[in-house]
Amino acid sequence: MPTLWIKNARVIDPAIKRDGPGDLFISDGKLVTSLSAAAKKRAKKIDAAGLVACPGLVDIHVHFREPGQTHKETIATGSRAAAAGGFTTVVSMPNTSPPADNVGTIQFIHDAVRRDAVVKVLPTGCITVGLKGLALAPIGSLKRAGVVAITDDGECVQSNELMRRACEYAKMFGLPLMDHCQDASMTQGSVMNEGVTSTRLGLRGWPHAAEDVIVARNTILAELTGAHIHLQHISSRHSVDIIRRAKARGVPITAEATPHHLALTDNLLAGYDTNFKMNPPLRTEADRRALLAGLRDGTLDCISTDHAPHTDYEKDKEFDYAPNGILGLETALAVVLETLVRRSRFKLARVIDLMTRQPARVLGLPAGTLAPGAPADLCLFDSAETWTYDAKAGFSKSSNSPWHGRTLTGRVKTTIVDGRVVFANSHIAER
C-alpha cells in the first residue's frame, strides 16, 4: 500500500468543516494527520495545485445490472464509470435478473465486487420476492448477507399493508428502506410528464400526483412505524412540500434528487430523443426550481445519479417502447457544478456535502470524510476545466446519456480508494 502525499490542493471536507489550501497524507490506506520526515521522502507525491480535493463522492442509487443484464452494464464497467466520475462508494439496486431477493444472489454480487470492482460497491436487497409486490423477501437473511438497505427500486410496492409490514421488519433489523414513489394505477402507458408538452407531442402523461400519493403514503408509514424511509429520485414540487412538512414533524424520512431532474425539464423531449426518457420523468421548470429549494433548505438530503444503463438498440425505438433511464456517473459532478454552483449560487462546499457526507449519512455508511483515521477515499477535480463528453467513449458499457456531445465544465482528475489511485489522467489503474 503506497504512502501518498497530496500537495497544494484546495481541501474541502464539510464533515470536519475544512475548506482551504493544504496537503493530505495517506498511509496504509487511511488518512493521517502528517507523515514523518522519512515517510515524506519515500511517499508518492501528487501535485494538486489548482484542484479541489474532497472526500470520494458517494452515490446511493445506481444500477449495475449484474447478474443477468450484463449486455447493459457489469460491476466491472459500472465501477469504472464511477471511478471516472469521482465516486468511491456506490450502492447498487436489486432489480437484476434474477432480482437480489435472496442470500445466493447477494453473495454472487459480493463475489463479483471483490473480483471486478475498482470502487466500493454495496448491494441492496429487495423488499418483496421477485420485485412483484406480493410477499416480503427474507429481510433478516438479506441483512445478514450484507445488504445496506432494502428497496424494490424499478418498481414500487403498491400494497399499503405490505409496505407497513416491510417498514416494521426493516426497523427491527436496523435497515433503511428506500422507495421508488409511483402509484402504478395512475401511470399505465405513461412515458413523460403530464402537461402542456406531453399534450403537444401526443405522448401519454405521467402525472406528478402519482409520485405525490406514494410520498404521502410513505411519510404516514414512517411516522406510524418509526422506520427510516428514504424517498428516491424526487421530481415533483408537491412531493418536496409534503417532505418538508413531514420533516418539520420529525418524521424519519430522507430524500434525494438526481442531477438530471435538477438540470433538465420536459420541454427537452420535443425532439422525441429517448435519451431524455426516464422514470420519474423530467418535469416542469417550477418542479426543477422546487428541487433546488429543497436541496438548499435541507428538505432533500442528497444527490444521487440513478445511473441506469441501456444499450443503443434498446433505446433506439419509438418513444413509447424505449426503456426508461440514463447514464449518470461520469457526468454527475460537472452537471451539478453547472446547475447548482454556477447557475444557482450554491456554495461549492454545500454541493460537495450533498454528494459525500450527506448520502453516507442517509445509509450510515463509513464514507464521506477526510478526517484522520478515515478510509483514504478521495476525489481530485478541476472545477474550471472544460471538456466534451463522449458517452460512446466512456467507461460504461452503454451510452444512453442526454449529455452526449455536450461541453461540460468541471472534470475529475484523480480518484483514490483506500489509498490506491484507481483513476488518473483519464485512465483506470487496473487492479
Where does 364-419 show beta strands of DSSP type E?
A: 378-388, 407-417
Q: What is the mean pLDDT of residues 353-382?
A: 98
pLDDT at 2: 85
Among the listed residues 204, 184, 181, 183, the one whose alpha carbon sits nearest the alpha carbon of residue 194: 204
Q: Cα separation of 410 and 405, whole Å?
A: 15
Work out the mean pLDDT of the chain and round it to a whole number.
97
Question: Cell 490506506 appears where?
Answer: 29
Assigned CATH topology for domain 56-363: TIM Barrel (3.20.20)
Answer for the pair 395, 80: CB distance below 8 angstroms, yes or no: yes
- Which of 212, 306, 353, 377 does the annotation list as catalytic? 306
306 is catalytic: yes
Q: Cα separation of 325 and 195, whole Å?
A: 20
DSSP 134: S
Model pLDDT for residues 292-322, shown as the tens digit of each residue: 999 999 999 999 999 999 999 999 999 999 9
pLDDT at 77: 98
Q: Does a cis peptide bond (omega within 30 degrees of 0) precede residue 280?
A: yes
Answer for the pair 179, 156: CB distance below 8 angstroms, yes or no: yes
Model pLDDT for residues 129-149, shown as the tens digit of each residue: 999 999 999 999 999 999 999
Distance set, CA 301 to CA 66, 291, 389 (Å): 28, 11, 28
pTM of the predicted model, to two decimals? 0.98
Q: Is the pLDDT of residue 160 over 80?
A: yes
| pLDDT interval class at 199 (50, 70, 90) | very high
Question: Cell 421488519 appears where?
Answer: 169
* Chain length of the chain: 431
Q: What is the mean pLDDT of residues 387-405?
A: 98
Distance of CA 67 to the CA centre of its chain: 20
Residues near 327 by Cβ (< 8 Å), separated by ≥ 6?
81, 307, 308, 309, 391, 394, 396, 398, 399, 400, 401
Answer for the pair 44, 376: CB distance below 8 angstroms, yes or no: no
Question: Cell 447477494 appears where?
Answer: 106
Q: Is 86 helix (H, G, I), strand (E, B) or coil?
A: coil
Q: What is the mean pLDDT of residues 337-343?
A: 98
